[in-house]
Amino acid sequence: MLLALNFDSRLGPITLTRSEHGLCRLQFGAADPDALAALGDDLLLLAAEQLREYLGGDRKTFTLPFDLAGLTGFQIGVLQAAQDIPYGETRTYGEIARALQKPAASRAVGGALAHNPLPILIPCHRVVGRDGSLTGYTGAHGLDTKRWLLQLEGVTVVSEKLG
- Nearest partner of 5 among 68, 48, 64, judged by Cα: 48
Q: What is the CA radius of gyration of the chain?
A: 15
Phi, psi of 95 (to 5 degrees): -65, -40
Phi, psi of 16 (to 5 degrees): -105, 135
Under 8 Å between Cβ of 79 and 71: yes
Task: Assess whether 24 carries a catalytic annotation.
Answer: no
Q: Hey, CA dihedral for 30, 157, 126, 105, is it positive or negative?
A: positive
Q: Hey, CA dihedral for 128, 133, 136, 137, is it positive or negative?
A: positive
Which is the catalytic residue, given 122, 124, 127, 150? 124
Which residues are annotated as catalytic? 124
